[in-house]
């Protein structure tokens, strides 16, 4: 394929076709990357998007990314120190440190010794997860947007569409939810929806008359959203040429899928900047904590950033509930479905849906990447 074509498509969503041509800082594979003992620096694209969407200076964005990386690495050790009293954890942007909730004050010193801050709470994470599990077994009306465990509130938060809060079915659901355990009710502006779109020429991939975005390269293909296509469905690229086939797909319940590639296409460990910011190499999939910054790349709205708001949230789409989602303050629009969520250089998940848009703002959920990799036995392609 001609170099000019590659520039036009911006290495269309991690995949290129034909002869490799170098565009900007993109590298074909880990094997082609020059070795270096230095700590990889965040791309200019990540920094630029954080400045725009989070209102940070360049220095503040760099400092925050460094702190978030340390907090992400600390999570497992701090949780182990908390033991059975663990009540959840989150990144505090103000202090730049990980905060861990514990129910047993005697464990506080051990957790602090790991470098984390400590907050004493009433309920353990296990108790809150059990409450959420009871809510997952209920049939939720359309006026109930979602629900998740919030470690900062030490409660299960039920999000209700503001205009529907007086609906009898919504009130009945909330009443049953309160019987299950500690529950807090909050309002949200709109009901969630998936971000697939009708066919628009020149975008990353199509299946049937649906346009979606590629998430992350895995060896043998890429991962994306399940609502974008069913197993066995053919996938076409931006130029309408065949890319491959959906090998697995799950929606609702989950919202993930993977596509095998062929016909001269191959994978690269890259998240696109779409010509407006630098492309980002993917170096792993360590899960960022609640409160950390996170950015999204999609074929409609390109690069946008925000914060991780909640994890393990059940999202009540019109097609049915989807479990174990991560909620963010990042905006998205139709066609962004399946696209990449990344924190620093660590893959986080694939775009599922949300509410709002990138003009007025909103919230977007992603299906965590590690769950997808484990479900299908895939290996993330990293630099």
Catalytic residue among 148, 150, 155, 227: 227
Residue pointed to by tokens 């049915």? 320
CB atoms within 10 A of CB 128: 26
43 is catalytic: no
CB 364 within 8 A of CB 330: yes
| C-alpha dihedral, 312 to 317 to 322 to 325, nearest 10° | -30
Sign of CA dihedral 311, 312, 316, 319: positive
The one-character DSSP state at 136 is H
> Which among 272, 268, 201, 271 is positioned nearest to 237, based on CA atoms?
201
337 is catalytic: yes
Rounded CA gap, 102 and 115, in Å? Answer: 15
Rounded CA gap, 251 and 313, in Å? Answer: 15
Catalytic residue among 146, 155, 213, 337: 337
Residue pointed to by tokens 């299950």? 180
Rounded CA gap, 32 and 209, in Å? Answer: 37
Rounded CA gap, 369 and 348, in Å? Answer: 5
293 is catalytic: no
Catalytic residue among 53, 150, 255, 336: 255
CB atoms within 10 A of CB 57: 11
Number of residues written out for the chain:
383
Beta-bridge partners for 207: 210
CB 273 within 8 A of CB 279: yes
Q: What are phi and psi of 341, to 5 degrees?
A: -110, 125
**Annotated active-site positions, please?**
227, 255, 337
């Amino acid at each position: 394929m001609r170099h000019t074509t590659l520039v036009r498509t911006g290495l269309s969503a991690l995949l290129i076709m034909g002869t490799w041509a170098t565009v900007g800082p993109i590298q074909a594979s880990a094997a082609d990357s020059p070795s270096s003992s230095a700590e990889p620096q965040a791309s200019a694209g990540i920094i630029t998007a954080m400045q725009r969407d989070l209102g940070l200076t360049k220095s503040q964005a760099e400092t925050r990314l460094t702190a978030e990386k340390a907090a992400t690495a600390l999570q497992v050790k701090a949780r182990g120190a908390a033991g059975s009293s663990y009540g959840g954890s989150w990144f505090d942007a103000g202090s730049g440190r990980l905060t861990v909730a514990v129910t047993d004050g005697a464990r506080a010193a051990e957790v602090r010794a790991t470098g984390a801050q400590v907050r004493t709470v009433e309920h353990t994470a296990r108790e809150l997860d059990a409450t959420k599990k009871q809510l997952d077994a209920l049939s939720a009306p359309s006026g109930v947007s979602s629900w998740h465990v919030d470690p900062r509130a030490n409660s299960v938060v039920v999000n209700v569409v503001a205009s529907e809060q007086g609906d009898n079915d919504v009130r009945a659901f909330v009443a049953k939810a309160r019987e299950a355990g500690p529950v807090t009710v909050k309002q949200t502006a709109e009901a969630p929806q998936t971000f697939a779109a009708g066919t628009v020429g020149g975008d990353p991939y199509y299946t049937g008359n649906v346009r979606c975005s590629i998430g992350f390269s895995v060896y043998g293909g890429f991962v994306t959203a399940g609502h974008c296509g069913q197993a066995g469905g053919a996938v076409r690229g931006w130029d309408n040429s065949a890319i491959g086939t959906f090998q697995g797909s799950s929606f609702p319940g989950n919202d993930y899928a993977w596509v095998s590639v062929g016909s001269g296409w191959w994978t690269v460990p890259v998240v696109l900047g779409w010509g407006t910011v630098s492309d980002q190499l993917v170096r792993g999939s360590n899960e960022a904590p609640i409160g950390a910054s996170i950015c999204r790349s999609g074929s409609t709205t390109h690069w946008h950033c925000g914060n991780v708001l909640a994890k393990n949230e059940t999202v009540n789409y019109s097609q049915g509930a989807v479990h174990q989602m991560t909620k963010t303050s990042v905006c998205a629009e139709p066609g962004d479905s399946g696209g990449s969520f990344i924190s620093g250089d660590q893959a986080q998940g694939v775009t599922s849906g949300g509410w709002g848009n990138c003009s007025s703002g909103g919230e977007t959920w992603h299906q965590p990447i590690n769950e997808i990799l484990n479900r299908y036995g895939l290996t993330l392609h990293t630099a």
